[in-house]
Amino acid sequence: MMGSRKLDFFICVLSVLPLICFSATFVPVDNYLIDCGAPANTTVGDRQFAADNFFKKLLSTQKDVLANTSSKPITSFSDSSLYQTARIFTGSSKYTFSVNQKGRHWIRLYFYPFVYGNYNLSIANFAVATQKNVLLSNFTVQKNSVMKEYSVNVTSDTLEITFTPSNNSIAFINAIEVVSVPDDLIADDANTISPPGRYSGLLTEAIETIWRINMGGPIVSFENDTLDRNWLPDQNFLVQPNLAVTASNIPAVKYVQGGATQNSAPPIVYGTLTEMNSNNDPNSNFNVTWQFNVDPGFQYLVRLHFCDIVSNSLNQLYFNVYINSWLAVENFDLSVAVNALAAPYYVDLVTPSIVGNKFSVSIGPSPVNNDYPNAILNGLEIMKMNDSLGSLSAGTAVIVNNSNSKKKVGMIVGVSLGTIGAVILAGVFFMLCRKGRLARHRLSKTWVPISINDGASHTMGSKFSNVTTGSVASNIGYRIPFLAVQEATNNFDESLVIGIGGFGKVYKGVLNDGTTVAVKRGNPRSQQGLAEFRTEIEMLSQFRHRHLVSLIGYCDERNEMILIYEYMEKGTLKSHLYGSGMPSLSWKERLEICIGAARGLHYLHTGYAKAVIHRDVKSANILLDENLMAKVADFGLSKTGPEIDQTHVSTAVKGSFGYLDPEYFRRQQLTEKSDVYSFGVVLFEVLCARPVIDPSLPREMVNLAEWAMKWQKRGQLDQIIDPTLAGKIRSDSLRKFGETAEKCLADFGVDRPSMGDVLWNLEYALQLQEAVVQGDPEENSTNMIGELSPQVNNFNHDASVSAAQFEASSVDDLSGVSMSRVFSQLVKSEGR
């Protein structure tokens, strides 16, 4: 399988590459460069864009509106002077370029919105199309300048580019390029990655460059590219920068017959790369992953540029490339492709239609032939292919939805309702069973909602439990000498950085007693930072709970602000949801994590005389240990909650965008319910596996809380869940989870459940999910009652609530009555 696939791959590649020969400097036959609205020619780099009137004869428009601004956009490339003038179109307007040589042409469109007289270009909304392809529709540029690059195969004698304002709006353009592309730049076919095969028809495809990246090297502006392309550096796209290192040897690059050419990419792209940070460790086995935002619903043409400037000899480097977790190139050996070191080469791949808006590319070692595991990437181009209607505009893309159909869900709900009482009973007794077992194990008389992974005993007592584990004082984090911190982190070795946040960098370290720790080193002292530093030490020294990350010590010598925590092997919850290419979590794992985090927050809110409000609840502040047990972290913003007689704390609004409680924002009043709101956002994040704010998405999807609530209210939450969960969540578990998140996001704090209620409901969602494994609930429940009654009694005794009450409320819950009453009774009976 592996062998044959590799063979296919090379046969195809070899049949294409010989066509690409050494090219002298490419001179485009068609070369229209227009600085629209400009009174005089504008020179950028070695190119001259013509004044507006020079190509005016190509334009048909109702009314001439030439606009200018004195402000200059900040662009990454040296093209900012092109943006200072524009042509504004009040009606449909068209440029007609005569084409001297048919074939591929770049179309580059430059936009920069400014205000000119009565025209506010920030609110212009319009479409741009050629005769065959829609390039943009419902398009608005709000603030920054943008340059859109397309490549279309022109088969007629003219290329028409039409700008059409939306109803009652205007269109505009700051500069435009129509330039011939070498015929051999894009071949007709390429390998497909899922299912593996061959795609042909690229010659007629319209494509849009979405990302063009120079791995391990600097930004490359059009002046240094024979085809005037811009390349961005890759650092900002690396998911875990500490896993990657760069290498550079530009002079070594030697274009060879059968490989890539200068027109494929310049030496500065091929002569720099990003590789695994494996330190010659023969056991290295990890991926280096980059992640990009893309428009869902399109297929993409991906070009991977390689040039082995790191090996000492041929046949040393074997690696795999993954795209969105598809194995895209397996056991790749550049030596076979080009038979030379430092010889440029590229591979084209076509993806299936992409479902989410994330696109990740990973490189990792191949398991075979690998004495020195390594993997490299020199350059990357991600190009959007036109959809079946010939459009490249996200506005018109047909998004493939592979969630369950509504019909199916309806059926499951129908069936479940029939046997619902029995399911509940089974669920409840199943929970009680676990509870009884665990309670014995822990020798705890505490009320604890049904435990998931409470099996291991936990040394830190909490106010909430009667487990005696010594005084809190004995557990207070202690001061650690700066020298010890330096030693633990190899003097703050950059390669040990595991996270970077507003506060500073986080390093992985090992104390001299062998304890692995996470060392958070604050940026040089600021008042704000200092306050947060103190809060964190104070809070974490007082609060010990298995679902709160523990503080091991701190260091404030030499004006440093360093916090040392227990090391959480699996990193943040966020990194497991998206952005890192990590394997996706199962629904059960996600529920258990949410339950753990809820338990930590519940403890904060209730486990102490005064409630503590976390204020920065988000998926990046929920950490996971090696067993995926969740712990809440980052107490820098925490505040002690209201006294008994008050209902809120008034305070400046702080927290993270996308998670902020709107009520807190409006009224600047803080209650525990603000954490509940943020936690609700986390719940949706866990379900949908996307960022809470994603500005690259269509407007109505940008804010996850709003977007998810819309679908939840329609009862169609299943339409937007993480595709990897599709078909794996029981509908009643999803419904419970959705309702819980919805309640958390209630507009007013008073309408939101307490963290305890949330916890209970999540437990319940988990039971509903697991009920499926129990087989026929009706049968099992009868058996279970008999077997488990002693534990049930035990539990009831602890909780001072009768089993009858419990069951009744459980069933009630399905008819819409909250279980919170039962829950609060349980809590109250325990007393604080």
Ligand X SMILES: *[C@@H]1O[C@H](CO)[C@@H](O)[C@H](O)[C@H]1NC(C)=O
Annotated active-site positions, please? 616
Q: Which of 6, 94, 132, 728 binds ligand X (CB under 6 A)?
A: 132
Give 421's Cβ-side CA count (13 Å radius): 4
What lies within 8 Å, CB to CB, of 487 at 6+ separation is: 512
CB 221 to ligand X: min, Å? 4
364 lines the binding site for ligand X (CB under 6 A): yes
Span of 10-18, 220-228, 548-556, 641-649 interacting with ligand X by CB under 6 A: 220-228
What lies within 8 Å, CB to CB, of 159 at 6+ separation is: 96, 97, 99, 105, 107, 130, 131, 152, 178
Span of 6-14, 216-224, 442-450, 648-656 interacting with ligand X by CB under 6 A: 216-224
Query: Do the strands 65-68 and 85-89 form a parallel or antiparallel pair, or are they unpaired?
Result: antiparallel
281 lines the binding site for ligand X (CB under 6 A): no
Q: Which of 26, 286, 292, 711 binds ligand X (CB under 6 A)?
A: 286
123 lines the binding site for ligand X (CB under 6 A): yes
362 lines the binding site for ligand X (CB under 6 A): yes
Contact map string, positions 169 to 198, toward ligand X, x by CB under 6 A: --------------x---------------
CB 65 to ligand X: min, Å? 10
223 lines the binding site for ligand X (CB under 6 A): yes
Residues from 693 through 732 that contact ligand X (CB under 6 A): 698-700
Q: Which of 357, 366, 386, 416 binds ligand X (CB under 6 A)?
A: 386
Q: For residues 797 and 162, what is the distance between their CA atoms, to the nearest angstrom?
A: 77
For ligand X, give the closer residue by CB, 492 or 711: 711
Span of 388-396, 528-536, 747-755, 793-801 interacting with ligand X by CB under 6 A: 388-396
Cα-based distances in Å from 38 to 49, 61, 67, 69, 175: 9, 17, 8, 11, 9
For ligand X, give the closer residue by CB, 387 or 675: 387
CB 58 to ligand X: min, Å? 12
Span of 381-389, 488-496, 619-627, 740-748 interacting with ligand X by CB under 6 A: 381-389
Cα-based distances in Å from 391 to 128, 266, 303: 11, 30, 21
DSSP per position, 726-763: TTTS-HHHHHHHHHHHHHHT-SSGGGSPPHHHHHHHHH
For ligand X, give the closer residue by CB, 202 or 432: 202
What lies within 8 Å, CB to CB, of 387 at 6+ separation is: 297, 298, 396, 397, 398
Q: For residues 295 and 298, what is the distance between their CA atoms, to the nearest angstrom?
A: 7
654 lines the binding site for ligand X (CB under 6 A): no
Token pair, residue 680, equals: 């609700």
Residues from 145 through 164 that contact ligand X (CB under 6 A): 153, 155
What lies within 8 Å, CB to CB, of 577 at 6+ separation is: 584, 585, 619, 685, 686, 689, 690, 722
Q: Which of 60, 68, 158, 783 binds ligand X (CB under 6 A)?
A: 68
Q: Which of 29, 39, 470, 783 binds ligand X (CB under 6 A)?
A: 39
Span of 56-64, 203-211, 454-462, 746-754 interacting with ligand X by CB under 6 A: 203-211
Q: For residues 389 and 311, what is the distance between their CA atoms, to the nearest angstrom?
A: 46
Q: For residues 103 and 113, what is the distance between their CA atoms, to the nearest angstrom?
A: 32
CB 457 to ligand X: min, Å? 32
Span of 252-260, 274-282, 284-292, 732-740 interacting with ligand X by CB under 6 A: 284-292
CB 311 to ligand X: min, Å? 20
Q: Which of 15, 204, 647, 668 binds ligand X (CB under 6 A)?
A: 204
For ligand X, give the closer residue by CB, 8 or 183: 183
Nearest to 624 by CA among 588, 594, 656: 594
Q: For residues 759 and 772, what is the distance between their CA atoms, to the nearest angstrom?
A: 21
Contact map string, positions 311 to 350, toward ligand X, x by CB under 6 A: -----------x--x-------------------------
CB 522 within 8 A of CB 504: yes
Q: For residues 92 and 148, what is the distance between their CA atoms, to the nearest angstrom?
A: 20
CB 506 to ligand X: min, Å? 21
Residues from 91 through 110 that contact ligand X (CB under 6 A): 103-104
Residues from 539 through 568 that contact ligand X (CB under 6 A): none
Size of the site for ligand X (CB under 6 A): 44
For ligand X, give the closer residue by CB, 166 or 651: 166
CB 718 to ligand X: min, Å? 23
Three-state DSSP at 70 gives coil
Nearest to 112 by CA among 78, 141, 90, 81: 141
For ligand X, give the closer residue by CB, 285 or 523: 285
For ligand X, give the closer residue by CB, 50 or 562: 50
CB 155 to ligand X: min, Å? 5
For ligand X, give the closer residue by CB, 102 or 445: 102
385 lines the binding site for ligand X (CB under 6 A): yes
Determine whether 326 is exposed, middle or buried from the number of CB atoms within 10 Å of its CB (0-12, 13-18, 19+): middle
Taking the CB of residue 821, how many other CB atoms lie within 10 A of it?
14
Before 753, cis peptide (omega within 30)? no
For ligand X, give the closer residue by CB, 177 or 813: 177
Using left for φ > 0, alpha for ψ between -120 and 50, and beta otherwise, residue 634 falls in: left
For ligand X, give the closer residue by CB, 384 or 545: 384
388 lines the binding site for ligand X (CB under 6 A): yes
79 lines the binding site for ligand X (CB under 6 A): no
Tokens 């074939």 map to which residue?
Answer: 103
Q: For residues 546 and 458, what is the distance between their CA atoms, to the nearest angstrom?
A: 6
656 lines the binding site for ligand X (CB under 6 A): no
Three-state DSSP at 699 gives helix
57 lines the binding site for ligand X (CB under 6 A): no
What lies within 8 Å, CB to CB, of 398 at 6+ separation is: 297, 387, 388
CB 139 to ligand X: min, Å? 9
Q: Which of 48, 515, 646, 829 binds ligand X (CB under 6 A)?
A: 48
Tokens 């179309």 map to which residue?
Answer: 107
166 lines the binding site for ligand X (CB under 6 A): yes
Q: Which of 98, 285, 315, 516 binds ligand X (CB under 6 A)?
A: 285
61 lines the binding site for ligand X (CB under 6 A): no
What lies within 8 Å, CB to CB, of 486 at 6+ separation is: 492
Token pair, residue 408, equals: 């199916």
Q: For residues 321 and 325, what is the distance between their CA atoms, to the nearest angstrom?
A: 9
For ligand X, give the closer residue by CB, 178 or 682: 178
**Which residues of this chain interact with ligand X, rule CB under 6 A?**
39, 41, 48, 50, 54, 68, 103-104, 115, 120, 122-123, 132, 138, 153, 155, 166-167, 183, 203-205, 221, 223-224, 268, 285-287, 299, 322, 325, 362, 364, 385-388, 390, 395, 581, 698-700
